[in-house]
Structure 1
Amino acid sequence: MTLAFGDGGLLPEFVDNPENRCPVVLLLDTSASMRGAPIDELNAGVASFRNQILMDDTASLRVELSVIAFGGEVRLVRDFVTIDDLSTPRLEAYGNTPMGGALDLGLRTLEARKRVYRRAGVHYYRPWLFLITDGAPTDGLLWQEAAMRAQEADLMGRLSFFTVGVEGADMEILGEIASPNRPPLMLQGLKFRDLFQWLSASVRRVSLSRVDARHVALPPVNGWARVGV
């Protein structure tokens, strides 16, 4: 295997852990409307995702998570790190909903990480981009171009793009953002923990499959979601 070099030599993450990688980007709405129980349950859900992946020794070395929050501004809360090295972030709710900027940053972050994998000679599974929101974009029409890029990547098999609306979300706009392959889902109440348990089970299946597998059967979503539009 060819290992990536940084300014100081071999990149330690690939020396210590040469496993295949399964990159997951969470785009999480942390706007003011998420205050109270919604943000508390979202934080609990992200923590449960980490804990579920850690129960699988192989998945914990292969699943890499990046967390991008959008509330008032777009913030890269966690850059890519394997779950065994992840400290769970504590998200707070404030501001408006710059969803277009979050989509754009999520796609750029993924492309940058894929370049790192290629330089390192590390194989990777189809990336996941997972958007959760209880509103609508407030940063103009930036979301339209970013959504088109995400949809194209999903349709071409370069990305698995999921959109989930929480109560209050503009499901009509989410329908325009979502890939035609994957209609937006509506979260049942505040079942964030159920959602993230489904997500952890899904990416665990992916991370234990062959890298070149075209289809991996995912668990049903009917325990936490319904098709939103």
Structure 2
Amino acid sequence: MGNREIISKLRVTFGAKLRSINAGILSRWILYFQSQPLAVSQKSAMVFSPHQDDETLGCGGTIALKRSLGVPVQVVFLTDGRYGRPEWIQPERITDIRQQEAVDALQILGVANSEIHFLNQIDNSLQNLPNDQRQDLVTRLAQHLQSFMPEEVYVPHKKDFHDDHEATYKLVQEAIALSGIQTELLQYPIWMFWQNPLSFSLKFEDVADARRLAISAVIDRKKRAIETYRSQHPGLPSGFLERFFLPYEIFFKD
């Protein structure tokens, strides 16, 4: 390995370490100093997930708690996740593998297959959909909302620093307006805290009105569900998953 390759690798390692430290500090500051406690409710919930694993990382404990109380929960996956592929999986197999991982993870959390919906949009396309495709997707999302009538809706944070995640927030907002239903919107962070502190762009208002939900009673189930996503672990930065093993989940009121 040449000097340039060594320097490049060191930069990547240092950058990941910096982001890991920043994410740990910020998430714990919000958890213990900037958030209000949130009790698990009996309200039915629909979780919108850009990719197969976001729902478990961001809401796995919440889903498990609600299902343990017999509360109806449905999960809607917007994309097919085709680009979340390690080298050892053939391109033509990844979407089927990710769907099966999602079904297995949600089974652990208590969600039946009949309550899981795959919309199969192309991964990494949500931000730039042509107008007709975008409107068609909003209509499909609205139909799911009208069919289930959830009292709570969970979406990625509007500033989650991932194009598909931020687009999911906007698409679901439009779908709620189109559906005409009354529901409570809660945002869950996945990549929001994973930023280089030297170029940090979050503002205080972006993390205001934070809520923390204690998930100690189901943390083992959440961990097992996360472990089900074996295809995704090799592509995640070192230290990224640590926050999702904490006994709390963070949400932001819209």
Q: TM-score, normalised by structure 2?
A: 0.34
Structure whose residues are more often strand by fraction:
1
The one of the two structures with greater contact order (alpha-carbon pairs below 8 A, sep at least 6) is 2
Structure whose residues are more often helix by fraction:
2
